[in-house]
């Protein structure tokens, strides 16, 4: 809420913005300034429409038109001439900075819907400051660049307490219930409710909502139960006390509200209130690994790609220290709320064609110094979060569903995915135990690619002292990680070496072509892909979107997926490269780059269904937490899967050199696993 002084400042700001929209300006940036002014006035007009009940009075067609008008200038077909495109002001080094400022100002859409007037005022005043600098004809181009960049720097630095404090509360405070109210108070049988968020809405979200509305009450309850029960099991199987918790963070995409409403009901039966927050709109709160929180359609994936590193404009030691201080203060002020948070319950979607971004030379990037600062910030921030929302006390669950983008067989595929998410626990428990019994005896595992796949890996396995009580691989069934269908371990880094190769893979919302990663003693040694003509562009692409600007990452996980049913489904409908990694990781051997499988919960004893303790919870990197926590974690974990058909063999080699074959020529050959080939034989 604005104070009287702020109200006066807002009125003056809007008055000046109105003048900018109509006055003549002779500067080189007149068109930019008029466009941004017009956008802000449009936002104010839209806010008045909302206050007058425009959402309730309008037809679906009118709502679609009103929503589209807020996003039209950044959509792909107009992006070449959009001020959000860093390359639009070609030849002007201010272009990328002004694009970053415009993308930040576009956050006004969120603030007008959520009535966050303080942040709106901050945007208005940022724009007016930039206007003054761009309109000063006596200023040199070099000075103008530095002054405008400084304006954006201080906007983020001065308001970091406000922005970060708000973001922390969004993640733990159930009283910030903007989305919950939409879900619980709307008529979810009509797609009109989708426009209450202010997110971009397309036919995909509308058709998804209509389909979810068409499902029976029993189907919705069953889907919600799979999700919520998986969450509950996560606490039970790791010996964590769910009764100590009072909140759960639900993440979803627009269109699934009817299902989320039932999940909220079932979570409340466990004593958990929903905390639901939107994907970040402030650059200071955005990460480089994709959107976290609920969101609608992504208007332009190239825009998201181009603006991943806008924080480079204020990434220095002073601002880093200010952000860390703000984060620490926000959690300390809300430490009781933080202690109640049980962890995230995530619903992913899939169906869109894999995205292959263009390399925009004008886009901002981290230099080496800023890469190090970013990594430092992520490490320090994660330690603070873990201090208040303790890893050893929280859990999670994650599930995925298709949207109509998957194609003409959407409804059929959706129902098949529901089957995938509810495959028989006992059947897979027994089969996967056969695989674990073989792997537990291994000194190392060999993974060899078939045909053009150049994978040739040796993975070192942790030693077991007592086979009657200990195991190395987790028997992963349908609890936190849905669907079931894998056995996994944290491998020993020393001795894990070789080449990982995948012809096509979709990682962190980016497509990679002919990806090759070479490991030495479990660490990434070199990497390449064929996305761009220039090898250096390919390396930068992998560095930014998989290594997340770390010079190297360890193999945090080695797993063998057993969900051949999902694989056969993917081949039947030709959707293999549209599936999320959550499902793909269950469809072949996979290797995760980054933190280990048990990151930040290594000291909690976990057990397989057979009662054996899983002892492979640490590797040579994560164990450093006992001496230097800032060196133990990377805050990322990216799975890379090799499809069955690209596997020549996977074999476990024991200390005597004896081989135990698990997969040969893409089929399971270990005794007790033949049932997995039934689905493969139907391909």
Task: Calculate the CA 549 to chain-centre distance.
Answer: 16
Going by pLDDT thresholds of 50, 70 and 90, the confidence category of residue 232 is: very high
Do 477 and 620 lie in one domain? The reply is yes
Tokens for 481, please give them. 């990680």
Identify whether 377 is part of a domain: yes
Identify whether 414 is part of a domain: no
Identify whether 399 is part of a domain: no
| DSSP structure string for 344-411 | EEEEEEE-SPPP-----TTS----HHHHHHHHHHHHHHHHHHHHHS-TTT---EEEEEE-GGG-TTHH
pLDDT > 90: percent of the chain: 88
The last residue of a domain, from among 388, 408, 443: 388
| DSSP run (H or E) holding 413 | helix 410-420
Q: How far apart are CA 49 and CA 145, in angstroms?
A: 37
Identify whether 641 is part of a domain: yes
Q: How far is CA 191 from CA 46, 185, 186, 254, 265, in A?
A: 20, 14, 10, 10, 21
659-662 contacts, C-beta under 8 A, 24 or more apart:
660/438, 660/441, 660/442, 662/435, 662/438, 662/439, 662/560
Tokens for 588, please give them. 């072949």
Do 351 and 304 lie in one domain? The reply is yes
Give the pLDDT mean for 61-85: 97
Asked if the model's pLDDT at residue 478 lies above 80, the reply is no
Question: Residue 508 in 3-state DSSP?
Answer: coil
From the number of C-beta atoms within 10 Å of its C-beta (0-12, 13-18, 19+), residue 261 rates as middle
Going by pLDDT thresholds of 50, 70 and 90, the confidence category of residue 330 is: very high
Do 320 and 450 lie in one domain? The reply is no
Do 382 and 325 lie in one domain? The reply is yes
Range of the structural domain that residue 457 is part of = 423-680
Q: What is the pLDDT of residue 357?
A: 87
- pLDDT tens for 551-606 read 999 999 999 999 999 999 999 999 988 999 899 999 999 999 999 989 888 988 89
Q: What is the pLDDT of residue 506?
A: 85
Do 432 and 376 lie in one domain? The reply is no
Give pTM, 2 decimals: 0.93
Q: Which residue has the higher pLDDT, 298 or 24?
A: 298
Q: What is the pLDDT of residue 465?
A: 95
Do 442 and 530 lie in one domain? The reply is yes
Identify whether 408 is part of a domain: no
Q: What is the pLDDT of residue 433?
A: 98
**What is the number of structural domains in the chain?**
3
Identify whether 412 is part of a domain: no
Do 366 and 440 lie in one domain? The reply is no
Tokens for 489, please give them. 């371990």
Do 154 and 185 lie in one domain? The reply is no
Identify whether 405 is part of a domain: no
The last residue of a domain, from among 158, 184, 217: 158
Q: What is the pLDDT of residue 611?
A: 94
Do 98 and 215 lie in one domain? The reply is no
**What are the DSSP E strand ranges found in 125-167?**
none
Do 462 and 582 lie in one domain? The reply is yes
Q: What is the pLDDT of residue 412?
A: 98
Q: What is the pLDDT of residue 609?
A: 92
Do 542 and 515 lie in one domain? The reply is yes
Going by pLDDT thresholds of 50, 70 and 90, the confidence category of residue 1 is: confident
Do 356 and 217 lie in one domain? The reply is yes
The last residue of a domain, from among 109, 125, 158: 158
Give the sheet arrangement for strand 247-251, strand by strand. Answer: 273-275, 247-251, 341-350, 397-402
Do 542 and 364 contact (CB within 8 A), yes or no? no
Identify whether 409 is part of a domain: no
Do 557 and 488 contact (CB within 8 A), yes or no? yes
């Amino acid at each position: 809420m604005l104070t009287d002084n702020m109200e006066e400042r807002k009125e003056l700001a809007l008055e000046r913005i109105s003048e900018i929209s109509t006055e003549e300006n002779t500067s080189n940036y007149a068109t930019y300034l008029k466009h941004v002014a017009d956008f802000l006035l449009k936002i104010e007009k839209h806010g008045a429409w909302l206050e007058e009940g425009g959402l309730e009075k309008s037809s679906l067609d009118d709502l679609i038109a009103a929503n589209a008008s807020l996003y039209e200038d950044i959509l792909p077909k107009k992006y070449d001439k959009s001020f959000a495109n860093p390359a639009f002001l070609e030849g002007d080094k201010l272009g990328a900075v002004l694009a970053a400022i415009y993308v930040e100002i576009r956050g006004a859409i969120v603030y007008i819907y959520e009535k966050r007037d303080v942040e709106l005022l901050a945007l208005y005043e940022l724009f007016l400051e930039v206007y003054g600098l761009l309109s000063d004809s006596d200023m040199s181009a070099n000075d103008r660049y530095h002054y405008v960049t400084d304006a954006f720097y201080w906007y983020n630095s001065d308001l970091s307490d406000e922005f970060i404090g708000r973001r922390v509360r969004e993640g733990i405070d159930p009283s910030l219930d903007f989305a919950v109210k939409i879900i619980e108070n709307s008529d979810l049988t009509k797609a009109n409710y989708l426009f209450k968020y202010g997110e971009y809405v397309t036919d995909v979200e509308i058709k998804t909502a209509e389909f979810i509305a068409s499902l029976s009450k029993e189907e919705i309850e069953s889907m919600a139960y799979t999700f919520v029960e998986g969450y509950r099991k996560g606490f039970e199987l790791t010996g964590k006390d769910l009764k100590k918790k009072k909140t759960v963070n639900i993440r979803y995409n627009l269109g699934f509200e009817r299902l989320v409403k039932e999940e909220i009901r079932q979570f409340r039966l466990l004593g958990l209130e929903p905390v639901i927050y939107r994907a970040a709109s402030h650059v200071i709160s955005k990460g480089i690994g994709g959107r976290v929180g609920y969101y609608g359609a992504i208007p332009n994936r190239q825009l998201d790609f181009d603006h991943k590193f806008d924080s480079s404009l204020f990434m220095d030691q002073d601002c880093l220290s200010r952000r860390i201080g703000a984060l620490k203060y926000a959690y300390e002020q809300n430490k009781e709320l933080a202690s109640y948070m049980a962890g995230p319950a995530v619903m992913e979607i899939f169906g869109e064609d894999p995205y292959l971004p263009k390399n925009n030379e004008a886009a901002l990037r981290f230099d080496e110094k800023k890469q190090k600062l970013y990594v430092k910030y992520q490490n320090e921030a994660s330690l603070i979060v873990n201090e208040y929302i303790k890893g050893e006390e929280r859990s999670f669950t994650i599930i995925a569903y298709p949207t109509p983008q998957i194609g003409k067989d959407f409804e059929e595929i959706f129902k098949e995915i529901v089957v995938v998410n509810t495959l028989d626990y006992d059947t897979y428990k027994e089969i996967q135990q056969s695989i674990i019994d073989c792997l537990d005896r291994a000194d190392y595992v060999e993974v060899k690619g078939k045909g053009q796949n150049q994978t040739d890996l040796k993975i070192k396995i942790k030693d077991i002292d007592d086979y009657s009580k200990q195991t190395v691989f987790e028997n992963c069934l349908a609890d936190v990680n849905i669907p079931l269908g894998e056995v996994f371990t944290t491998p020993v880094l020393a001795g894990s070496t070789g080449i990982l190769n995948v012809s096509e893979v979709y990682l962190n919302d980016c497509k990679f072509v002919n990806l090759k990663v070479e490991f030495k003693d479990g660490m990434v040694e070199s990497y390449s892909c064929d996305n761009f003509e220039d090898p250096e562009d390919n390396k930068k692409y992998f560095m930014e979107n998989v290594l997340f600007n770390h010079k190297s990452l360890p193999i945090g996980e080695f797993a063998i997926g057993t969900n051949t049913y999902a694989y056969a489904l993917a081949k039947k409908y030709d959707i293999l490269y549209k599936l999320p990694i959550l499902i793909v990781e269950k469809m072949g051997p996979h290797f995760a780059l980054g933190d280990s499988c048990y990151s930040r919960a290594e000291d909690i004893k976990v057990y397989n269904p057979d009662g054996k303790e899983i002892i492979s919870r640490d590797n040579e990197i994560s164990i450093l937490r006992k001496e230097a926590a800032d060196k133990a974690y990377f805050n990322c974990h990216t799975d890379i899967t090799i499809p069955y058909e690209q596997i020549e063999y996977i074999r476990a080699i024991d200390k005597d050199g004896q081989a135990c074959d698990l997969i040969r020529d893409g089929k399971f050959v270990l005794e007790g696993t033949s049932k997995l080939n039934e689905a493969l034989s139907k391909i």
